[in-house]
Amino acid sequence: METVLTFMFLRLLVIGAIVLGVALLVTVIVLVARRSGRLDDARRAAAPLARTLGKRQDTWGTIGRGVARHLDGGSR
């Protein structure tokens, strides 16, 4: 029984480390883009795609509308 619990705990630690690593990587990418002034360029490039995606009537459309609203500076 201890072996199974140890395995499950280690698996949880590995998954947590991966999630934390991805979150850290995304944060670093956003900060570097913001400091170099390219974040605004990325927003301008993503806006047409988000608006086009927002015209759909499924889950992707809901996500696209939310992203387009955020990129346009609307309320959250």
**Is the four-CA dihedral 18, 23, 26, 27 of positive or negative sign?**
negative
DSSP state for residue 57 in the 8-state scheme? S
Total structural domains within the chain: 2
Contacts with 68 (C-beta within 8 Å, 6 or more apart), sequence order: 47, 50, 51, 53, 54
Q: Identify whether residues 42 and 13 lie together within a single domain.
A: no
Q: Identify whether residues 42 and 76 lie together within a single domain.
A: yes
pTM above 0.85, yes or no: no
Q: Identify whether residues 48 and 31 lie together within a single domain.
A: no
Instruction: Convert the pLDDT of each residue in 4-22 to its tens digit.
Output: 999 999 999 999 999 999 9
**CB contact at 8 A, 50 and 64:** yes
| Domain residue limits at 67 | 38-76
Structure tokens, 62: 């809901």
Residue 2 has pLDDT above 90, yes or no: no
